[in-house]
Amino acid sequence: MMLVKVPLENGLGHTVGCRKGGNAIIATLDEIWTNEQGKEIDRAVLDLEEIHLDNNNLEEAGKLIYENAFETIESQDKTIFLGGDHSMSFPIGKAFLDVCKEENKKGKNSEPFLIVFDSHPDLMAPGKEPNHEEWLRALVEYGFPAENIILIGLRNSDLTELDFIKKNKIRVYNMASLMDIENICDVVMEQANKKQIYLSIDIDSVDPRFAPGTGYIEPGGMTSRELLYFIQRINLIKTLRVVDIVEINPDKDKKYDNMTIKLGAKILAEFL
């Protein structure tokens, strides 16, 4: 397993500070002795890398993330990317899709599947370098199969995004439908079964009571325990290839005793 820090910020000014998220999460692992499966957490033995990029040159940053992600995903059983804001999921998603295509050419059945936890759909019409509100639509337009995308936790969507969801038949479990989490998790796991899985976790999928250190506060979200339940179940699937954890902003988390960073570290620990 490889851990890769991706300090990308392309969030229209709303995500300044997210570049520090990866380092903050890794440092906080020292406060976690074991994960909830009883496995010891020792960050000294982690296989950790960082993509050194220039946020003043987003085009070059995107190329660098794509190249590094492609190489890592191709060579590792599982890779965890630590953001950064959600815009980084576009070049990583492209690399994941292209790795699956290459594996299919070699006779391996590698059908890509994307599970996204987010309070927003991130399906606005993309610009040249898709930002954190546009990355998922850009990925669909790049060729990711929309029928293999599940969005979980939505509670604030633009009408144009809802129209895109309907036209492209993207599956959505918004917060209003998450009353029976156990059953929904069963359905998600069944849909993802035997496919190559990319799991993207925007921390704002969690209610700000539990994760306030992020750019867009949206009330009415999941509890931290509910998100942990989901990821612990999904982590049981052997074909989980890629995970990203994004939108944790240490600058905004200071006044909350680093509560959001601590949750990010706990989420990471469950995958280790």
Residue 259 · residue 213 · CB < 8 Å:
yes
Per-residue pLDDT tens over the stretch 86-117: 999 999 999 999 999 999 999 999 999 999 99
Cα distances (angstroms) measured from residue 1 to each of 78, 82, 139, 197 = 5, 13, 25, 15
The per-residue pLDDT of the chain, averaged, comes to 96
**Opening angle at CA 88, ends 176 and 153, nearest 5:** 5
Q: Band the pLDDT of 11: cuts 50, 70, 90.
A: confident
Rounded CA separation 53/63 (Å): 10
With a cut of 90, say whether residue 44 has pLDDT above it.
no
Q: Average pLDDT, stretch 207-220?
A: 96
Q: What is the mean pLDDT of residues 162-177?
A: 96
Domain that holds residue 211: 2-271
Q: How confident is the model at residue 13 (pLDDT cuts 50, 70, 90)?
A: confident
Number of domains in the chain: 1
Domain holding 246: CATH number? 3.40.800.10
Sheet holding 2-6: strands in order across? 48-50, 2-6, 79-83, 240-246, 196-202, 112-117, 149-152, 171-173
